[in-house]
A and B are shown apart, each in its own frame.
Chain A
Amino acid sequence: MIGATSALGDLRAMVGAEFLVTGEALEAYRLGGRKPQAAIVPADDVEVSKTLTRAWEEGLAVVPWGGGTHQSVGPPPSRYDLALDLGRLNRLLVHEPADMTATAQAGIRMVELQRQLAQHRQFLPLDVPLPERAMLGGVLSARSSGPLRCRYGTARDLVLGLRVAHADGTLTKSGAKVVKNATGYDVTKLYLGSHGTLGVILEATLRVYPRPDVEQGWWLAAHDLGTAQTLADRILGSSLVPNRAEMVDEDAGRACRMPGPGLVVSISGLPETVQGQRATLERMAAESGVMPAEIRDAEGTWRALSDFPWVNVGWNGGGMRALWRGGAPPADCAKAMLAIRQAAPRSVGVSAAASVAHGILRGGFLAEAPEAVAHGLRAAREVLVAIGGFLTVLDAPAPVRAQVDEWGPAPDGVGVMQRLKTAFDPKGILNPGRFVGGI
């Protein structure tokens, strides 16, 4: 490791001792029981690029690091020499309110980005979990999303272009700063959701939206999830334009301070818009035998839904806790949630919610025995895979991880994915072993 030692010396000389973390402070960068040799906190793009070039020369395994909120997703790295902390690339570079676009650096925290956009009454409709900690680059790398995807879509729809540092330190851009672009391949899409295995996102140009004048939410308590699904299908197939449509089971409901299974629906816009749609929503609810209740603490409810299951899974107590995210055809959300509960061992506490417009499920399992949690995860995955879906483990203790594959069966096209990884990062230094198919 003489090369590594000399590389770390070079990096320290570049960023200064203060920004090359070693020793005890590396605890913050621990992954799966392993700490890196150092963590570097570069000041700008050029320093990121030089860091990667040096790591590339020495073959050091690099873990790009934002707010760390999604570092639990996927297996721990198979090699881990250097954490590349993007926390100092934390500026909103450009905000063009009249174009409804903004360009921000990867290390800006989501709440800070929203605060600055709000100065022009705009926002980025990515209501991801843990926004106080989560940073933009990590959110995009993990393709994280929240309930607002119902109306506004995901990072796929909101990111217009990226600036990326590659494994060898080369800096490139993808996409453009305009809202419509068909120039060359849309390589932006490859980086989104790639968990830092193809390149390190440095900045993103985003589509931003005006903040609505009014937003009103309703809690639609249903007798059972099936009723909630029927109502959701009706709403989503109608001319109503909901911002959020979240289905929660009893335990997820408790986590979000709402009783029983049901739906949370919100509508935003001008006051007259919301009023106009309210009547339709109430009529549809009544026809399904559901009584709508206005949500009073709207902000609190939105946060609880965005943070579920990361912050509160609906029950307390020790033991083994696993969080997961899954996908199902939208109209099968309730069916999947029920089947997942039934398939889990009886000793496992289960809670689940779904962004019902897009069939994105998330939830948590809790039990004393890791075997029971792992069994629950595998069974839930079987349920989802059988209907064309998937399940990804978001977070779990090591004894659970030992018994379940975090990503599940390889998707179609995994061979192409592996070849892409080799083409982008032939030495395998970016987040090795953390992604799908052993990437």
Chain B
Amino acid sequence: MNGNGLAPEIRRRLIQACQRIVGPEGVVSAPDELRVYECDALTYYHRSMPDLVVLPISTPQVSEVVRLCQDVGVPFLPRGAGTGLSGGATPHAGGVMIVLTRMTRILGVDVPNRMATVEAGCVNLWLTNAVKHAGLFYAPDPASQQACTIGGNVAENAGGPHCLKYGVTTNHVLGATVVLPGGEVARLGGMVADGPGYDLLGVFVGSEGTLGICTEVTVRLMPQPEAVKTILAVFRTIEDASHTVSGIIGRGIIPVAMELMDRETIQAVEANVKAGYPLDAGAVLLIELDGPRAEIEAEAVGVEAVCRDQACLEVRVARTEEERALLWKGRKEAAGSFGRIAHHYHLQDAVVPRTKLPQVLREIAEIGARYGIKIANVAHAGDGNVHPMICVDRDVPGCEERAMAAGSEIMRRCIEAGGSVTGEHGIGLEKRDYLGLMYTPADLAVMRRVRAVFDPAGLCNPGKIFPDTAEHAGASHSPRGPSAVSKP
């Protein structure tokens, strides 16, 4: 699909105005170059070209571009590295895409206060690497941390394997400089916690680029733990593995990570990266403990006991940093490894109460069998966050439709089990229709009210999150047709 919906004359004037703001090198307008920006990492769902892409280098530039969009009445949206998995950075309504990847600086690391301030385009992993020397790290670690930006993490409230113990992005963001949809710049939160007033920062984090564009972020850094222990537990069945998860949490042990991979995932991973997962296993759990040495030694004993209770086939503890890195490589490459078993897959992100994990994983398997669709499972199991990978063979007629149907049934089962539609990927474009499974119209009306307060004109990343794309006269932002611009 093509998002170029602006009248040529208006587009030309917009390009000129943006070039004046950010310089000619900061504007992308050639159609073949714009194609890069037609979707984020949700590639199968919807593609749409932005009318132009602007790459500002400062907060005032972002503000000016946003004001320009408001003046002209064109939609705009932010984009970081485009690693989002729900279509949050897909320019659904065309318009101006504001890309933050030229704002990558680490503005300051404050070791005594255990904080850092970065520009929104700073890559997640760069920050952890930059503070390592001070014995600190930045906890949220999405799988894409080598590429994804902190600003994008803020927009999506990104998680990651290590969020079981440390929490997700919202628990680590102390402040943000935000360009509000009207173009005003506001500093939400800051180095000091608990400031008076409504927690605008709290509602901004995870708002998927619909409440404004964050340009700078102040985050909390954590001291590195004294010791880390990484354990691979091997099981005959996924059921045994998931009972182990509940057993460990039920004992009051909170590992820093507890990742589950099923047989299909193990096969794919081993074919790809050879992490050393046993090929005959029904499931493995990758369990990591961190903290004071004495504590994790004691906890490791508890973890092993629970594993044995669940008829675990093997418990393997990484003895060296290399062994640990290899075990994690398998997990981190899991999604990438699915290319080995399927040409396409749909990745889901539901959350269920951790005690419901055995039941829900059983139901997912049943659903897969019923639809004749291969479903592989990886899960941030300690949080109850399941990532079923629904394999799609587009050469088989009807497979795509069956995969979609299986996907919605899985989603419904997770909600019925008391869960949530998305744990860390966000709603974006992909899951809009599922929102109503979880929230009543009255619940959603509250969210829309917030949206209308921040963005009365509805120009900031329109069409995302909410089920009906008609919000805020969405029709006038139709990606096709010259009516996309209400005011020249």
Contacts and interface: CB of A to CB of B under 8 A. Distances in A.
Interface of A: 96-101, 121, 143, 145, 153-154, 156-157, 166, 170-174, 176-190, 192-194, 198, 209-210, 233, 236-241, 269-270, 272-273, 275-277, 325, 327-331, 358-360, 388-390, 392, 407-408, 410-417, 419-420, 423-424, 435-437
Interface of B: 110-114, 134-136, 156-157, 159, 163, 167-168, 170-171, 180, 184, 186-188, 190-203, 205-207, 211, 223-226, 246, 249-250, 252, 291-295, 297-298, 349, 351-355, 380, 383-385, 418-427, 431, 435, 438-440, 442-447, 449-454, 465
Contacts of A96: 353, 355
A222 B114 CA distance: 23
Contacts of B223: 236-239
A359 B445 CA distance: 36
Contacts of B195: 327, 390, 411
A181 B454 CA distance: 22
Contact of B384 (A153, A180, A241): A180
B182 to A, nearest CB: 10
Given A185-B451, A327-B195, 10 more contacts: A101-B353, A121-B252, A173-B440, A178-B352, A185-B211, A190-B203, A192-B199, A237-B112, A390-B195, A407-B196
Contacts of A166: 446
A388 B198 contact: no
User: Most chain-B Cβ atoms within 10 A of its Cβ — which of A172, A390, A435?
Assistant: A172
B308 to A, nearest CB: 19
Contacts of B111: 237
21 contacts: A96-B353, A98-B246, A173-B443, A178-B419, A183-B422, A184-B435, A184-B444, A185-B450, A185-B451, A186-B206, A187-B447, A189-B170, A239-B291, A240-B292, A269-B292, A329-B192, A359-B113, A360-B193, A360-B194, A390-B192, A417-B200
Given A180-B168, A237-B111, A185 B193 contact: no
Contacts of B385: 180
Contacts of B454: 416
A338 B323 CA distance: 51
B446 A172 contact: yes
Contacts of B352: 178
Contacts of B226: 239
Given A96-B355, A172-B446, A192 B202 contact: yes
Nearest to A194: B198
A210 to B, nearest CB: 3
Contacts of A183: 420-422, 427, 431, 435, 438-439
A423 B453 contact: yes
7 tightest A-B contacts by CB? A189-B202, A210-B252, A276-B294, A239-B226, A331-B112, A327-B192, A273-B295
B291 A241 contact: yes
A327 B186 CA distance: 19
A157 B167 contact: yes
Contacts, number: 258
A359 B192 contact: yes
Nearest to B221: A237
Given A184-B427, A239-B226, A414 B197 contact: yes
Contacts of A182: 156-157, 159, 168, 206, 349, 420, 422-427
A215 to B, nearest CB: 14
A270 to B, nearest CB: 5
B190 A241 contact: no
A187 B203 contact: yes
A185 B199 CA distance: 13
B45 to A, nearest CB: 17
Contacts of B110: 329, 331
Contact of A327 (B163, B194, B197, B225): B194
Contacts of B449: 423-424
Nearest to B421: A183
A269 B112 contact: no
Nearest to A410: B197
A159 to B, nearest CB: 11
B418 A412 contact: no
B458 to A, nearest CB: 15
A99 B245 CA distance: 10
B192 A389 contact: yes
A179 B113 CA distance: 28
A417 B197 contact: yes
Contacts of A180: 159, 163, 168, 351, 380, 383-385, 420, 423-424
User: Most chain-B Cβ atoms within 10 A of its Cβ — which of A176, A198, A329, A416?
Assistant: A416
A278 to B, nearest CB: 10
A327 B159 contact: no
A60 B334 CA distance: 58
A65 B440 CA distance: 27
Contact of A237 (B135, B294, B440, B446): B135
Contacts of A412: 186-188
Contacts of B225: 239
Contacts of A186: 157, 170, 202-203, 205-207
Contacts of B440: 172-173
Nearest to B290: A239
Contact of A388 (B191, B203, B292, B422): B191
Given A239-B224, A436-B197, A185 B207 contact: yes
A186 B167 CA distance: 15
Contacts of A423: 449-450, 452-453
A157 B171 CA distance: 6
A411 B196 contact: yes
Contacts of B184: 415
Given A190-B450, A237-B114, A177 B353 contact: yes
User: Most chain-A Cβ atoms within 10 A of its Cβ — which of B134, B136, B198?
Assistant: B198
A233 B205 CA distance: 28
A396 to B, nearest CB: 16
Contacts of A185: 203, 206-207, 211, 447, 450-451, 465
A187 B206 CA distance: 10
B112 A233 contact: yes
Given A176-B351, A190-B202, A237-B223, A276 B194 contact: no
A389 B189 CA distance: 10
Contacts of A424: 446, 449
A156 to B, nearest CB: 6
User: Most chain-A Cβ atoms within 10 A of its Cβ — which of B180, B192, B199?
Assistant: B192
Contacts of B349: 182
A410 B200 CA distance: 14
Given A99-B354, A417-B200, A436-B196, A330 B418 contact: no
Given A98-B246, A239-B224, A193 B423 contact: no
Nearest to A173: B443
A186 B420 CA distance: 13
Contact of A189 (B193, B194, B199): B199
Contacts of B194: 143, 145, 154, 193, 325, 327, 358, 360
B479 to A, nearest CB: 23
A413 B193 CA distance: 16
B294 A388 contact: no
Contacts of B246: 98
A275 B196 CA distance: 40
B199 A330 contact: no
Contacts of B171: 153, 156-157
B294 A193 contact: no
User: Most chain-B Cβ atoms within 10 A of its Cβ — which of A237, A325, A359?
Assistant: A237
Contact of B186 (A153, A154, A413): A413
Nearest to A239: B226
A317 B445 CA distance: 52
Contacts of B252: 121, 209-210
A99 B355 CA distance: 6
A172 B351 contact: no
A258 to B, nearest CB: 25
Nearest to B157: A182
Contacts of B134: 237
